[in-house]
Amino acid sequence: MSNKLENRTVLVTGANGGLGTEFVRQALDGGARRVYAAARSPRVWEDDRVHPLVLDLTDPSSIVAAAAAAWDVDLLVNNAGIAPATDASIAAPSDESLERVFATNTFGTIRMSAAFAPILAANGGGAVLNVLSLAAWTPIPTVYAASKAAAWSATSGLRVELAPQGTTVTGLIVGMVDTAMGARFDVPKSRPEDVVAQAYEGAVAGVFEVLADDDSHFVKGLLSEPAEALAAATEAAMRAVVAEPSA
């Protein structure tokens, strides 16, 4: 696999969002031959290399259709995800929250990877980049965190299973990013352009994991410590998070 984006064919899910738009932009700036910008309601792009693609991750038939249309992909970016503002409990979640969040963040990532695995193999192996979250490693009591932890586990399994066909699988771990999803939290955030640049660099090099901010490096270091240490650090961080009032 080439250690660059030049002449690559990239598919980005959740392409309308803050990170998704940046993934599309940097792929184009890096010389990608074609970028499939996938979303439920695709937007209009000015660059002719961008091919808008209708994709609903909660609908398996939509994923099958996307794979049929984007048969030339050699870099799959599983970026789409949701984090509802009402998601505030793992002990008493709503059925709707469980189903929507896992259907998008976990099942959607797995189904996309499964649908495109043979396509990547046919196109030389290629790469999968899964946008995860620091929440996957921290005891945050939300369905979102649980869904990202499951997606992290799936990413690790996919890496082993797809290695024989020459496909690399990279997981992106990052905390708060300055996008619409994190806008309600009054905490320091990473810039989307910095996160995406690190993610692409890791994906094209085939590294297993990209830690895109200081918080991710800090928590990674705590994973070998007793669970109580991580719990205490998470509780302290959560106390520092001030959610802005809803508009």
Mean pLDDT of all residues in 104-132:
98
Q: How far apart are CA 123 and CA 58, in angstroms?
A: 26
User: Total domain count for the chain?
Assistant: 1
Q: What tokens appear for 104 in the block?
A: 């998008």
Please report whether residue 196 resides in a domain: yes
pTM, entire model: 0.92
Please report whether residue 22 resides in a domain: yes
Identify the band that residue 194 occupies on the pLDDT scale cut at 50, 70 and 90.
Answer: very high
Please report whether residue 41 resides in a domain: yes
CATH of the domain at 76: 3.40.50.720
Please report whether residue 58 resides in a domain: yes
Percent of the chain as helix, strand, coil, to the nearest 5: 45, 15, 40
Residues 6+ apart with CB under 8 A from 144: 82, 83, 84, 87, 101, 105, 133, 135
Please report whether residue 83 resides in a domain: yes
Identify the band that residue 247 occupies on the pLDDT scale cut at 50, 70 and 90.
Answer: very low
Mean pLDDT of all residues in 180-194:
74
Q: What is the pLDDT of residue 3?
A: 57
Q: How many residues does the chain have?
A: 247
Please report whether residue 4 resides in a domain: no
Residues 27-57 pLDDT 10s: 999 999 999 999 999 999 999 999 999 999 9
Q: Would you say residue 124 has pLDDT above 50? A: yes
Phi, psi of 130 (to 5 degrees): -100, 120
Q: How far apart are CA 203 and CA 170, in angstroms?
A: 6
Q: What tokens appear for 76 in the block?
A: 């799959």
Q: What tokens appear for 34 in the block?
A: 């074609």
Query: Strand 127-131 relative to strand 168-173: parallel, antiparallel, unpaired?
Result: parallel
Helices (H), the chain: 18-29, 60-69, 95-102, 108-122, 143-162, 192-205, 214-222, 227-240
Structural domain boundaries, residue 195: 9-240
Please report whether residue 155 resides in a domain: yes
Please report whether residue 3 resides in a domain: no
Q: Would you say residue 183 has pLDDT above 90? A: no
